[in-house]
Homo-oligomer: A and B are copies of this chain.
């Protein structure tokens, strides 16, 4: 299901980044960096609340017009309670969403649709991730120190905010493809890369099919958090299933940490993995017209501890969002140069 947006733009962003992420290639580019999992708070959850709140403060501080009409937010905690707590603190009308690590694209799609209502002018879309809170939400209490297999990923600790509105900017949200839940039977909650590949490939196929484009149309196709192994499987799966040759493809999870950082195993994950990499590395390149057409494929594993304990396999989802550099500004600059 692909829907097109008329007047939705990315206007501003902020990222507050935590441990491991701040040792990686994006070091020094964040709005703020914190270097331990508590950051002066008593609990991991309070730390996550603090960082998400800061991320929203940064984006509002950057804007002349401080008025925000709506907050769309998601995180990995049960009942997305980090988002709930922060929504209370910032006092902005709030809609909570949950599609696990696919939530960023879900927010952009819902947000861009809500902008059709002229009363909603400015929306902040936020994602929150904290390695320790998500480990204990999905797997084991962190105090167990359970060893993990090399194909598991390391949830990105970061809070991201993206301001979208009808106000024209360099980067337009052109269309979005809402994915279907796909489950090919992976049971291992450490192996989310493999589990999410079929959902990602299916959404990519539906997106290209709906829009009549081929895989070369985009300068960059960027998945969320498949990890080193999932990325390889995705490329092979797309080639054998659909015949796509993905030279313009990469995966955020494999780009966000240092390549030689053994602690992060197969790479990043979490709802903040894709937006952290996109907002810090890709969005500035789009603003500078170095990259013009980007397809984000946010991938989410929709498991819970209860579903894992009840031996259910992992249902996965992927939503796609197409972003493009706005042409009229591009021509304008071209003539100036």
Contacts and interface: CB of A to CB of B under 8 A. Distances in A.
B119 A116 contact: no
Contacts of A95: 97, 99, 106, 109-110, 178
B91 A79 contact: no
A85 B113 CA distance: 26
Given A117-B3, A302-B79, A93 B310 contact: no
Interface string A155-193: 000000000000000000000001111110000000000
Nearest to A314: B84
Interface residues of A, number: 55
Interface of A: 1-5, 43, 45-46, 69-70, 77-81, 84-85, 87-88, 91-100, 106, 109-110, 113-114, 116-117, 119-120, 137, 178-183, 302-307, 310, 312, 315, 317
Nearest to A136: B306
Tally of this chain's copies: 2
From DSSP, what is the main secondary structure of chain A's interface residues? mixed
A307 B1 contact: no
B310 A43 contact: yes
Contacts of A179: 93-94
The 6 closest A-B CB pairs, nearest first, are A84-B302, A116-B116, A88-B181, A79-B304, A1-B93, A3-B117
A181 B84 contact: yes
Contact of A113 (B2, B113, B315): B113
A88 B183 contact: yes
A327 B113 CA distance: 27
A56 to B, nearest CB: 13
A96 B93 contact: no
A120 B306 CA distance: 33
